[in-house]
Amino acid sequence: MSYLADPIRWHFLLQIPELWRVMFRVAAEESDELALSPEFAQKLMAQVVPGIDRYEIAHTTLYRVHQRVANAFRSGRTFLIGDAAHVNNPLGGMGMNGGIHDAINLTGRLIEVWRGTRPDAELDRFDLQRRLVTKEHVERQSIQNKRNLEAADNEFRDVLRRTAADPALTRDYLLRVSMIGSLRRAEQLG
């Protein structure tokens, strides 16, 4: 995975089996028709990897970056996890990984309630815990990831340099972006 911070045309590259997934910022004044055109995609790719006459582009789609967290992750016997519970921008993989954390957390609690080793109220704790962690960590970090990519000048690079130069800041940064910090916060909540 590689991110390029730029206030006008940020992008990221993600290598997946047999393909590269590339996401670009599309300016508000650029129409959907333009953004979906093969010529536009070729032009953007030429800015990333110059010198190739024609890029093989398997698929293009538009994605509106937005953030939402459900008011509750539980209603009776119904639970929301992953994108059904929280949607955020895809920068940093926070949504997918948060959804995996939701599923693991809920599964463990459901097993205990089903076996009778924990009361039904344990499932309310899932709602409290995962929703709060989503608000405090997943949503906050995904918003910050987008701000970082749109940062003017060298602001984000300067923050990264200071972080890399200080072992304590580096550790805190890695715990936050790896979502280990969110798992620790969830443990604190019970």
The verdict on residue 169 lying in a domain is yes
171: pLDDT confidence band, cut at 50, 70 and 90? very high
Segment 109-138, tens digit of pLDDT: 999 999 999 999 999 999 989 999 888 888
Quote the pLDDT of residue 114: 96
55 close to 41: Cβ distance less than 8 angstroms = yes
Domain of residue 118 covers: 68-189
Q: Is the pLDDT of residue 98 over 80?
A: yes
* Confidence (pTM): 0.76
Same domain, 72 and 113: yes
- Number of structural domains, the chain? 2
> Which CATH number is 146's domain given?
3.50.50.60
- CA–CA separation, 178 vs 11, rounded Å? 20
Same domain, 74 and 44: no
The verdict on residue 88 lying in a domain is yes
Arithmetic mean of pLDDT, 54-67 = 86
Share of the chain above pLDDT 90, in %: 45
Nearest to 57 by CA among 48, 69, 70, 66: 48
